[in-house]
Amino acid sequence: MKVKIQDIEKIVKKHGGEKGAVIPILQDIQGSYGYVPREAVKVIARELSIFPVVVYGILTFYTQFYLTPRGKHTIKVCQGTACYVMGGKEILDHLSKALEITEGETTADGMFSLERVACLGCCGMAPVIMIDKDFHGKCTIQKLKTLIEEYRAKK
Amino acid sequence: MAKNEITVLICQGTACVSGKAPQIREALESEVKKAKLGRSVKVDFTGCHGFCQRGPIIIIEPEGIFYCDVKLEDVHEVVQSHLKENTIVERLLYKDPATGKAVPHYRDITFYKDQQRIVLANCGHINPEEISEYLDAGGYQALKKAMSEMGAEKVINEIKKSGLRGRGGAGFSTGVKWGLCRAAKGKVKYVICNADEGDPGAFMDRSILEGDPHAVIEGIIIAGYAIGAGEAYVYCRAEYPLALKRLKKAIAQAEEKGFLGRNILGTEFSFAIKVKEGAGAFVCGEETALIASVEGRRGMPRPRPPFPANEGLWGKPTLINNVETFANISHILVEGAEWFSSIGTGTSKGTKVFALAGKVKNTGLIEVPMGTTIRELVFGPGGGMLDAKAGFKGVQIGGPSGGCLPESLLDTPIDYESITKTGAIMGSGGMVVLDEKACMVDIAKFFLKFTVAESCGKCVPCRVGLKRMLEVTEEISSGNGKEEHLQFLQEMGENIRKTALCGLGNTAPNPVLTTLKYFADEYKAHIEDKTCPAHVCTGLIKFEVIEEKCVKCGLCYKACPAGAIEWEPKGKAKIDKEKCIKCKACIEACRFKAIR
């Protein structure tokens, strides 16, 4: 997706008068691009009259924001206490092996990004993963295989 | 009004949704239509029931028949058999794991039977996306009472008298906090609802927001009225998309009905609630860090005082309470402080919602009166250990700020003081049960990894100290542990506890300190004997077959993915260390504990 300065300006202006707008702006930009493009930092800084380093500082503080494009599907693997004792680490290891990427990376075909997350708050169905906005509980290696195939087949 | 004789309630909480509950709901609707039952049967949905493990869940009212683990292909039978012919679908009923008998009624299931649901009363029973259902259940009566009969001072006194304490972890008196905010100078004041439920192992706030969002909103409005605020923010984690959606919808409905906005209930009081989505930082659960994040800055805490009650959001007096705290408010005002304070113990009043997870039969949300013992919780609603053979080892309470308690402390009553005395903290109410397969050094290391990753880096004790502690636990679990490491962990932990800037740092050593205290033997086994009794720390497993214990069954041979096990029928197994990839598949497979 090509980054258009005007689009970014539009997002920034939408939050114009709002107090504490930087985070919602970054969230919206990431919502449209899947990551926060480098160019956006400058635009936000200019429009809000703050230094780019302030924007960059916020951007890198929160785990939700990315500076590089993400895969088509983001897989978040829960590493909360309940998931950990129910085998969440094995789930993460398996996905990492199956997709040939480590956490934080994206597969070469741009299909999947793999991430760890502190807790998804679904401890009752541990171990849990979240693909895009959907939760998948009681994960097993077999279930992961099916899920990956399912998402790969999705257009 | 009562045109529908039967209501089919299908849970639409996050867990059930992941089990295809929305599709089941659609199928139910179309099957009911097809069977021409539309006149007598209403299909509706609810928020989380708390028994997520057995989802998707369907309850059929008025009898309260409880179906669990429902699949799409079961819908036809439910409609044909139960709704049409009035015959219960036996195979979908919950089976008591102790007796093996089916339990048809929701209220008879052990998981629910011993609970006292106040905060969760509506969860799983009303449609969270319809304000009318909340109103029918007595909703917004407390707000009306507060504004028309009581007045702000009286509301605060009532909350003080009730003895309610903050459910977010620290346990500060809610009434006193409200009083301080009301007394604080300044015309502009704010209310913040902390819904940044970051503790791994806790999910009550998510369920409350998904299942009964208006209860939280009503609590927030009452708080705003009592302290004289005009605006509130709900700071909710972005990892909770469904909670966010329902919350936003509920706010819009409350605005429509005139419970939010200008001149609420025809008075001078005007109030607005805005939702702020978190951006993924555990430290934002700390109040001053949360304020920084709402202001659009890096979520880093600052020293207190000044406390937010005097100088909070944008420098104005700010009241911060947690979701569960707000959800208690309307009940206290309607039923009275006396009623509320009759529940619980001397210093901890009311109920507490726990998120029980880990190696127990029933996992989910459990609301019990304060003072209930850990044993009553784990072996009552929790149903006891998942695998009876792998015995109880401990229970982790309060997430990364809490601690691990051993069997000898199972009879500790759950109240703020008793839990603090053990070295853990009540925290937000996460409770993870561990069996003998858990290694306590590994658990301590797990939490340190978490807090090291989540430390904001502002103060040295937390940023550097926790990292040093993590390095030492890594040494211990990889077989390089030394005698002096234990003292180092103890001293460093105590120092961080005393000197870190915020709650995250102060409590981060707790998992280490409590495991050192209650599971010292395990640390010793790692350091002196160089073994991990639970076979978790890979660095300490020799990957050898103990010849005396090997029964020549060959299970390990079949399980090994690397072809590293030499075995022939009727012969003892042997592991080729060159080929072994240390995956532990053989240890999992061996039923005779013959591999060390």
Cα(B383)–Cα(B392) distance, rounded to whole angstroms? Answer: 13
Structure-block tokens of residue B51: 């028994």
Do B586 and B575 form a contact (C-beta atoms < 8 A)? yes
Element (H, E) at B404: strand B403-406
* Nearest Cα to Cα of residue B204 among B301, B118, B78: B118
Whether A17 has a pLDDT exceeding 80, the answer reads no
Q: Token pair for residue B429?
A: 């109410």
For residue B44, the distance in angstroms to the closest alpha carbon of chain A comes to: 22
Q: How far is CA A128 from CA A102, B284, B425, B433, B434, in A?
A: 18, 23, 26, 17, 18
Whole-number Å distance between alpha carbons of B270 and B280: 32
Q: Cβ contacts of residue B270 below 8 Å, gap of 6+?
A: B230, B261, B262, B263, B264
Q: Kindly report the number of other CB atoms within 10 A of residue B376's CB atom.
A: 17
pLDDT (0 to 100) of residue B99? 85
- Burial of residue B136 (number of CB atoms within 10 Å: 0-12, 13-18, 19+): exposed
Taking the Cβ of residue A135 and every Cβ of chain B, the question of whether any pair is shorter than 8 Å is answered with yes
Chain B residues with beta carbon closer than 8 angstroms to that of A67:
none
* A contact residues 36-75, partner B, Cβ 8 Å cutoff: 57-58, 61-65
Residue B314 in 3-state DSSP? helix
| Fold held by B440-527 | de novo design (two linked rop proteins) (1.20.1440)
SS3 B82: helix
CB neighbour class for A109 (10 Å; exposed up to 12, middle 13-18, buried from 19):
exposed
A19 contacts B296? CB cut-off 8 A: yes
pLDDT in tens, B216-245: 999 999 999 999 999 999 999 988 999 999
In this structure, the number of other CB atoms found within 10 A of the CB of residue B498 comes to 10
Helix (H) or strand (E) holding B392: strand B392-397
Segment B520-527 shows an average pLDDT of 96
pLDDT at A155 over 70: no
- pLDDT at position B1 is 36
β-strands B318-322, B272-277: how paired?
unpaired
The mean pLDDT of B463-482, rounded to a whole number, is 97
Which candidate from A65, A84, A122 shows the least CB-CB separation from B15? A122
Joined together, the tokens standing for residue A110 give: 């741009």
The answer to whether residue B122 scores a pLDDT higher than 80 is: yes
Residues B137, B278: Cα–Cα separation, whole Å:
31
Total residue length of chain A: 155
Q: What is the pTM of this model?
A: 0.93
Q: CA-based Rg of chain A, rounded to a whole angstrom?
A: 18
Least CB–CB distance from B201: residue in A24, A61, A80: A80
Fold classification of B542-596 is: Alpha-Beta Plaits (3.30.70)
Q: How far apart are the first and last CA of chain B?
A: 68
Query: Which are the contacts of B460, defined by CB distance < 8 A and separation ≥ 6?
Result: none
Looking at every residue in chain A, the average pLDDT score rounds to 91
Least Cα separation, residue B15 to chain A (angstroms): 6
Q: Which part of chain B has CATH 3.40.30.10?
A: 6-108
Residue span(s) of chain B under CATH 3.30.70.20 come to: 542-596
Condensed to tens digits (0 to 9), the pLDDT of residues B413-456 reads 999 999 999 999 988 889 999 999 899 999 999 999 999 999 99
Residue B2 has pLDDT above 50, yes or no: no
A117 Cβ under 8 Å from any chain B Cβ: yes
Top-tier CATH class for B351-435: alpha beta
pLDDT over 90 percentage in chain B: 83
Nearest-Å Rg of the Cα atoms of chain B is: 26
Closest CA to B285 of B205, B194, B355: B194
pLDDT (mean) for B474-490? 96
* H or E stretch at B252: helix B241-256
Q: Which of B196, B184, B221 is nearest to B312 (CA)?
A: B184
Whether residue B282 and residue A21 make contact (CB cut-off 8 A), yes or no, is no
A65 contacts B15? CB cut-off 8 A: no
SS3 of residue B233 by DSSP: strand
Peptide bond into A127 cis (omega under 30): yes
Across B491-504, average pLDDT: 96
Residue B9's DSSP bridge partners are B44, B59
CA distance B57 to B69: 6
Q: B572 with B583: CB under 8 angstroms?
A: no
Instruction: Tell me the percentage of chain B whose pLDDT exceeds 70.
Output: 99
Bridge partners for B93 per DSSP: B67
Q: Which residue has the higher pLDDT, B179 or B106?
A: B179
Rounded Cα gap, residues B244 and A24, in angstroms? 14
The arithmetic mean of pLDDT across residues B472-488, rounded, is 96
The fold for domain B131-340 equals: Rossmann fold (3.40.50)
**Sequence-ordered list of residues with C-beta below 8 angstroms from that of B237, at least 6 positions apart, any chain:** A121, B195, B196, B197, B198, B277, B278, B280
**CA A2 to CA B148: how far, in whole Å?**
57
Query: Which of B15, B279, B359 lies nearest to residue A23, judging by beta carbons?
Result: B279
DSSP conformational letter for B413: B
Chain A residues lying within 8 Å of B55, measured CB to CB: 124-125
3 state SS of B13: coil
What are the structure tokens assigned to B193, written together?
Answer: 């609802």
Residue B28 CA to residue B192 CA, distance in Å, equals 40
Interval B248-271: pLDDT, tens: 999 999 999 999 999 999 999 999
With CB atoms and an 8 Å threshold, state whether A135 touches B51: no
In chain A the domains, ranked by start, together with CATH numbers, are 5-61 (no CATH), 73-153 (3.40.30.10)
Q: How confident is the model at residue A2 (pLDDT cuts 50, 70, 90)?
A: confident
Q: Once rounded to an integer, what is the mean pLDDT over residues A102-122?
A: 91
Closest residue in B to A28 (Cα–Cα): B277
Give the tens place of pLDDT for each residue, A70-101. 999 999 999 988 898 888 998 999 999 999 99
Q: Do A123 and B363 touch (CB under 8 A)?
A: yes
State the number of CA atoms in the 13 A half-sphere of B545 facing the CB: 27
Query: DSSP letters along A98-119, please?
Result: HHT--TT-B-TTS-EEEEEES-
Q: What is the pLDDT of residue B388?
A: 83
The pLDDT of residue B4 is 64
Outline which parts of chain B fall under CATH 3.40.50.11540: 131-340
Interior angle at CA B279, CA B276 and CA B284, nearest 5: 80
**B353, B367 contact by CB (below 8 A):** yes
The DSSP bridge pattern shows strands B351-358 and B318-322 to be unpaired
A27 interface with B at CB cutoff 8 Å: yes
Q: DSSP of chain A, one letter per residue?
A: ----HHHHHHHHHHTTT-TT-HHHHHHHHHHHHSS--HHHHHHHHHHHT--HHHHHHHHHHSTT--SSPPPSEEEEEE-SHHHHHTTHHHHHHHHHHHHT--TT-B-TTS-EEEEEES--S-GGG-S-EEETTEEE-S--HHHHHHHHHHHHH--
Work out the pLDDT band at B583, boundaries 50, 70, 90: confident
Each residue's pLDDT tens digit, B336-388: 999 999 999 999 999 999 999 999 999 999 999 999 999 999 999 999 999 88
pLDDT of the residue at B284:
93
Among the residue ranges B2-16, B42-56, B289-303, B548-562, the one predicted with the least confidence is B2-16
C-alpha span between B104 and B559 (Å, rounded): 41
- Contacts of residue B296 in chain A, CB cutoff 8 Å? 19-24, 58
Tell whether A19 is within 8 A of chain B (Cβ). yes
Q: What's the pLDDT at B3?
A: 54
Phi and psi at residue B358, in whole multiples of 5°? 90, -145
What tens digit of pLDDT does each residue of B499-518 get? 999 999 999 999 999 999 99
Q: How far is Cα B232 from Cα A18, in angstroms, rounded to an integer? A: 15
Q: In chain B, which residue's Cα lies nearest the Cα of A22?
A: B296
CATH 3.40.50.1000 matches B6-108? no
Residues of chain B with CATH 3.10.20.600: 351-435
- Quick check: B182 and B227 in contact, CB under 8 A? yes
Taking CA–CA distances from A93, the nearest residue in chain B reads B583
Confidence class for position B169, pLDDT limits 50, 70, 90:
confident
Asked whether the beta carbons of residue A125 and residue B15 sit closer than 8 angstroms, the reply is: yes
Supply the mean pLDDT for chain B: 94
Q: What is the distance between the alpha carbons of residues B191 and B272, in angstroms, rounded to a whole number?
A: 10
Is B79:B38 a contact under the CB 8 Å cutoff? Answer: no
